[in-house]
């Protein structure tokens, strides 16, 4: 199973581990969205900024959320393949959105191996 990672704050990572990714999550002070859930292939290569950059960016904006971490999850390949085709895995980013993999991901989420890496 490929390992995918998500850069975020510790508080959010712990919440995601408990409840699964929320494609409609909106940040404190933000507005309701339906953005899906973005993950990177562990080790890259990355065509966007790295997950560490995004994690540190979130930690700067929300300094009371426990600092920057990387959430790593092993995800079955068939679920990865169901993700948004706008972002092919060769680019290092996988986007789970409604209709493209998020439902499948949530259906097995509790059983997937996960870890939090402190930056």
Partner 1 sequence: MTTILADLEKSPTPTEKGQYVLWQDFDPRKRGGILGFVDDLLERLVCDRIRLHWIRDFVTEFPLAKEGESRTIHFPFRAYRAVIARMAALSDADATKDPFYPYRGIGSFTDSRWPHIRFDVDFDNRNGFLRLDLTPVFSSEPQ
Alpha helices in 20-118 (DSSP H): 51-61, 77-80, 102-108
Q: What is the C-alpha to C-alpha distance for residues 18 and 15, in angstroms, rounded to an integer?
A: 5
Binder among 19, 35, 74, 81 for partner 1 (CB under 8 A): 35
Binder among 19, 24, 33, 107 for partner 1 (CB under 8 A): 33
Binder among 24, 44, 45, 53 for partner 1 (CB under 8 A): 53
Contact criterion met (CB below 8 Å) for 89 and 43: no
- The CA-CA-CA angle for residues 96, 101, 103, to 5°, reads 105
Q: Which two tokens stand for residue 33?
A: 């969205």
Binder among 95, 102, 104, 105 for partner 1 (CB under 8 A): 95
Residue with tokens 């929300």: 62
Told to check if 41 binds partner 1 by CB under 8 A, we report no
Binder among 54, 69, 72, 109 for partner 1 (CB under 8 A): 54
Interacting stretch for partner 1, rule CB under 8 A, among 10-18, 51-59, 74-82, 110-118? 51-59
Told to check if 85 binds partner 1 by CB under 8 A, we report yes
**Closest residue by Cα to residue 106 from 75, 69, 84:** 75
Q: Give the binding site for partner 1 (CB under 8 A).
A: 26-27, 29-31, 33, 35-36, 46-49, 53-54, 56-57, 60-61, 84-88, 90-91, 93, 95, 97
């Amino acid at each position: 199973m490929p390992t995918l990672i998500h850069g975020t704050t510790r508080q959010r990572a712990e919440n995601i581990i408990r409840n699964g990714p929320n494609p409609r999550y909106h940040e404190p002070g933000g507005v309701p969205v339906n953005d899906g859930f973005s993950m990177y292939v562990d080790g890259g290569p990355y065509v966007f900024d790295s997950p560490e950059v995004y994690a540190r960016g979130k930690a700067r904006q929300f300094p009371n959320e426990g600092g920057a971490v990387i959430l790593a999850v092993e995800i079955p390949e068939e679920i990865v393949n169901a993700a948004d085709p706008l972002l092919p895995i060769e680019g290092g980013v996988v986007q789970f959105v409604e209709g493209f993999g998020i439902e499948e991901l949530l259906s097995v989420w509790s059983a997937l191996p996960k870890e939090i890496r402190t930056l």
